[in-house]
């Protein structure tokens, strides 16, 4: 007999696309068609409708959060008689491989940077905090790249601590999807921005709680707001395979590319390879590590066909 309690309460209020779009009010569209073309991903074309219906209301909401946070920080500084200056508002953005995280992050960065109270918006992909391939190979983790254990968590936490403490300059490693590895000697420099968007697979992953109760930070402890990009497994699998086929004809053709060996595969062979990679690595990571963090997000963007957002779930205050 199931003795678990029946709970009718949901921590979220869910809006249809139409209901959410109305919350834009008079927020102006500040991106041109050329801007949208530059912001689009390999498989995801950012349409004007998507920006107007989904991202403009979201940028309006985030602008309100940022301004409120700036005001709270100011009065707290006054109370404590300190003058340490601004502290960046940090947004975490999570979701599966191929769900469109990077595209969403770029669109939000562009829109938020056009609000007058926070023009400096940095975007930091957590791919840069993956261990180098040399380390992953030594630890037998190449087949689990993107899983929580494949990241240099202390380095990521120290970076976020620098950012959130208002440090004037913080540096993050840079990852190349062409060579499938960290670019040695290159860094992404973040210099005291107004907003930092941290995008990655496992940014909402909780840490293992210590038995002794000593302090141990989660990555999400540094977030002021968090977003999860959601879609059905079937859709994400389809997007992953189609992206693989597209890359086979483009980026994989570069002789320096890590996956250059896949460029000569027939379409059937490439599709089978992509499905094998999806089921053996990415789907496992989604089910075990990424999807369980969805309910930790402040806002969930639920996508349907063609990457179009169908509904928005906002955590109740």
String of DSSP letters for 35-81: HHHHH--SS----HHHIIIIIHHHHHHHHHHHHHHHHHHHHHHHHHT
Instruction: State the average pLDDT over residues 33-45.
Output: 81
- Measured between alpha carbons, how far is residue 187 from residues 100, 121, 125, 182, 286 in Å? 24, 17, 12, 10, 28
Q: How confident is the model at residue 207 (pLDDT cuts 50, 70, 90)?
A: confident
pLDDT score, position 173:
97
Phi, psi at residue 91, to the nearest 5°?
A: -110, 125
* CATH code for the part of the protein at 12-315: 3.40.50.300
Phi, psi at residue 5, to the nearest 5°?
A: -70, 145
Instruction: State the average pLDDT over residues 184-202.
Output: 95
Domain ranges for the chain: 12-315
Instruction: State the average pLDDT over residues 217-232.
Output: 95
Phi, psi at residue 12, to the nearest 5°?
A: -115, 150
Burial 151-161 (b: 16+ CB within 10 A, else e): bbbeebbebbe
d(CA 26, CA 252): 44
Range name among 116-125, 209-218, 220-229 with the lowest pLDDT average: 209-218
* Higher pLDDT, residue 175 or 166: 175
| 116 pLDDT higher than 60 | yes
Q: How confident is the model at residue 97 (pLDDT cuts 50, 70, 90)?
A: very high
pLDDT score, position 43:
64
Mean pLDDT for the chain? 91
Q: How confident is the model at residue 139 (pLDDT cuts 50, 70, 90)?
A: very high
Q: How confident is the model at residue 296 (pLDDT cuts 50, 70, 90)?
A: very high
| 240 pLDDT higher than 60 | yes
Residue range 248-260, pLDDT digits in tens: 988 899 999 999 9
Cβ atoms of residues 131 and 150 within 8 Å? yes
Residue range 146-155, pLDDT digits in tens: 999 999 999 9
pLDDT score, position 206:
84
């Amino acid at each position: 007999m199931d003795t678990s309690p029946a709970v009718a309460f949901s921590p979220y209020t869910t809006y249809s696309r139409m209901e959410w779009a109305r919350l834009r009010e008079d927020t102006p569209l500040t991106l041109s068609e050329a801007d949208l073309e530059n912001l689009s991903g390999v498989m995801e074309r950012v349409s004007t409708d998507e920006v107007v219906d989904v991202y403009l209301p979201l940028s309006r909401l985030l602008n309100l959060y940022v301004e409120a946070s700036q005001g709270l920080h100011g009065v707290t500084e006054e109370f404590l008689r300190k003058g340490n200056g601004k502290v960046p508002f940090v947004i975490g953005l999570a979701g599966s491989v191929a769900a469109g995280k990077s595209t969403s992050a770029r669109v939000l960065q562009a829109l938020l940077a056009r609000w007058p109270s926070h023009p400096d918006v940095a975007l930091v992909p957590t791919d840069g905090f993956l261990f180098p391939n040399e380390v992953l190979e030594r630890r037998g983790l190449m087949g689990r790249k993107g899983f929580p254990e494949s990241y240099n968590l202390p380095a990521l936490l120290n970076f976020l601590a620098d950012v959130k403490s208002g440090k004037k300059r913080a540096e993050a490693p840079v990852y190349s999807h062409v060579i499938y590895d960290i670019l040695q000697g290159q860094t992404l420099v973040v210099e005291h921005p107004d907003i930092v968007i941290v995008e990655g697979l496992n940014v909402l992953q909780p840490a293992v709680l210590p038995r002794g109760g000593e302090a141990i930070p989660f990555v999400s402890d540094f977030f002021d707001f968090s977003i999860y990009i959601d879609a059905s497994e079937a859709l994400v699998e389809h997007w992953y395979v189609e992206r693989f086929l597209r890359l086979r004809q483009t980026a994989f053709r570069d002789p320096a590319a890590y996956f250059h060996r896949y460029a000569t595969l027939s379409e059937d062979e490439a599709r089978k390879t992509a499905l094998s990679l999806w089921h053996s690595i990415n789907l496992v990571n989604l089910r075990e590590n990424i999807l369980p963090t969805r309910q930790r997000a402040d806002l969930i963007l639920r996508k349907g066909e063609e990457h179009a957002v169908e509904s928005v779930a906002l955590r109740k205050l």
